[in-house]
Structure 1
Amino acid sequence: MNPRTKSALLWGAVGFMAFLVLVQGYALVVEPLVSIVQGFVVAVLVGVGTAVSAYVLEYRVAAWSAKRASERTQD
């Protein structure tokens, strides 16, 4: 598997699980915000959005970071 694709899928998994943790924490502290099925569906959408965003933006962020690092070493 391409490392860029693998990284994007892992970021998608992080987004998926982070959303589920936030929904569960809110339900424990206040009250259930959504049902389990609704929470799962929204978490899947968040995971897919995170994976797509990571895939699209990873190259740009890496290039920006490398450019910044090279500018710092030149000073």
Structure 2
Amino acid sequence: MDPRTKSRLLWGVVGLLSFLVLIQAYELATSDLVDWGVKLGVAVVVGIAAALVTGQSQKRLVEDEADSRSTDATENESP
């Protein structure tokens, strides 16, 4: 599996599980119950969003890093 794809999927899982932890804390703090279908539906949406944001962020970071490397290489050249 491509390392970037693996990273995106893992960050999606982290987002999904983080949402479930937060909703559980909400239920414990307020004694309000949230339906399981709502929990799982929103958790999946959060996981997908986290994976997509990770993918876009990785692209930008890689492009920025490549731009800075090319700038650094030209700065080191002597006239």
TM-score (norm 2): 0.74
Unaligned runs of 5+ in 1: none
Q: How big is the alpha-carbon RMSD for the aligned residues of Structure 1 and Structure 2?
A: 2.0
Larger radius of gyration: 2
How far has the Cα of 1:61 moved from its partner? 2.6
TM-score (norm 1): 0.78
How far has the Cα of 1:33 moved from its partner? 5.4
Runs of at least 4 residues off by over 2 Å: 31-34, 61-64
Unaligned runs of 5+ in 2: none
- How many equivalent residue pairs? 69
For residues 16-54 of structure 1, give each alpha carbon's deviation from its aligned partner in whole angstroms, at most 9, with x where no partner exists: 000000000000011335211101110000001111111
Helix, strand or coil: the match of 2:20? helix
1:21 maps to what in 2?
21
CA distance in 2, matches of 1:9, 1:33: 29
How far has the Cα of 1:62 moved from its partner? 4.1
Q: Share of identical aligned residues, percent?
A: 41
Retained in 2: the 8 A contact 1:8–1:54?
yes
CA distance in 2, matches of 1:40, 1:7: 22
